[in-house]
Structure 1
Amino acid sequence: MTFNRPTYTLEEALKKAENYCAYQERCHQEVRQKLIEMRMIPEAIDHILGHLIAEGYLNEGRFTEQFVLGKFRHKGWGKNRLRQELKQRDISGLAIDRALREIDLEEYQATFHQWVEKLWRQSTGKPQANRLQKLKDGLRYRGWEPEWIYEALGDKMKS
């Protein structure tokens, strides 16, 4: 069974990759995967990636910063989840650390406490042990620091 997928010249693939990166920030891995799906040969992929980097279409630091702030503000992810997701995208540790430092500590703490209250309210009416487990699981899933989670659990056990 053969698939009728289009083939691309180097110039066509380059233009398509530029548009792909111009639409939203991308990491190197996403662009490489897109080019593989376009059935480009490794030499062409390297050439296109080099061009995208040189022309400013692809920037790991910029991608990492936008990813961190976007996922933190819109999905409420903690630093552990953010780090894990970026590592899966082959982002360097230095870029990850730099982006995580951009999160305002007061905003980070406020977001954590909002999640604690939201998750706690969602489990109203259940036994306290179940509520505490749901709170712990929800916060861990979102990647919040274990010491913060246990402090929140302690506070909820007292109230």
Structure 2
Amino acid sequence: MSLFPADIEDEARRIVTEFATRGLTVATAESCTGGLIAGALTEISGSSAVVDRGFVTYTNEAKVDMLGVTPATLIAYGAVSRETALQMAYGALFRSRAAVAVAVTGIAGPGGGSADKPVGLVHLAAQSRSGTTLHREMRYGDIGRTEVRLATVRTAFEMLMKAAGL
């Protein structure tokens, strides 16, 4: 029995299979998901051939210390921003041995939102060593903390596949 909904488990299995076949590895940089992306991937048997490492960087200090996000970026744009997500993905990629990295930062709720950055806003970024860089801004809405986090995992999986050229 999986800890995750069937669609997430199926997509995680697909990623593990496709990446393993091609000799690709993954790193994750997670804030609002708290490790769920890495957790869903490692739920799959054989994931040790694919998952290099995961960074859970919930605080701004962790984003700076572990991923190299610049304090200037956090001051200018905030933790939940395109700029921060892109720096998180870059940091995860180049502080790992992974071929592809995905990063997420957002507001899962129920509190913490504002008019500019409402609950359900998540910025995702993916980067590959072959030069692909992706960003998506998702506005899932105030659908509940768990649902925002699971929706983010689903989007992150799509971006991993796209960044890997699959």
- TM normalised by structure 1 equals 0.23
Larger radius of gyration: 1
> Larger strand proportion, structure 1 or 2?
2
> Larger helix proportion, structure 1 or 2?
1
- TM normalised by structure 2 equals 0.22
